[in-house]
């Protein structure tokens, strides 16, 4: 998990341009301020470990949950259709000799 750091000095050009730094860097190259971990999307300083602030992490989790629900719904429909084809397929195969 790659986290990013940013300058939290509101007067700094790096803060205004939302420049991000690597985790290994300790100080802002523009003003010398100690860097803090920031959200990758909105540049909000983070208090906890993670890549995103609470808002963007919740959005990411919601998107993942929605994707899971869609995939499970589609797979359920496919399984149901497969069961019907399997069941009816036996009947069709039995009736093929009668068609000749």
Tens digits of per-residue pLDDT, 11-67?
999 999 999 998 899 999 999 999 999 998 899 999 878 888 888 889 988 888 888
Query: How far apart are alpha carbons 13 and 96 in whole angstroms?
Result: 78
Q: What SS3 state is found at 91?
A: helix
Burial of 92: CB neighbours in 10 Å, binned 0-12, 13-18, 19+: exposed
> How much is the pTM?
0.59
Cα 59 to chain center, whole Å? 8
């Amino acid at each position: 998990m790659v986290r990013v750091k940013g300058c939290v000095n509101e007067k700094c050009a790096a803060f205004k341009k939302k420049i991000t730094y690597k985790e290994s860097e300790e100080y802002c190259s523009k003003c010398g301020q100690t860097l803090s971990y920031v959200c990758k999307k909105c540049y909000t300083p983070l208090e906890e470990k993670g890549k995103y602030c609470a808002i963007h992490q919740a959005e990411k989790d919601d998107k993942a949950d929605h994707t899971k629900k869609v995939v499970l719904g589609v797979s359920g429909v496919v399984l149901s259709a497969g069961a019907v084809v399997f069941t009816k397929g036996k009947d069709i195969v039995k009736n093929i000799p009668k068609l000749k």
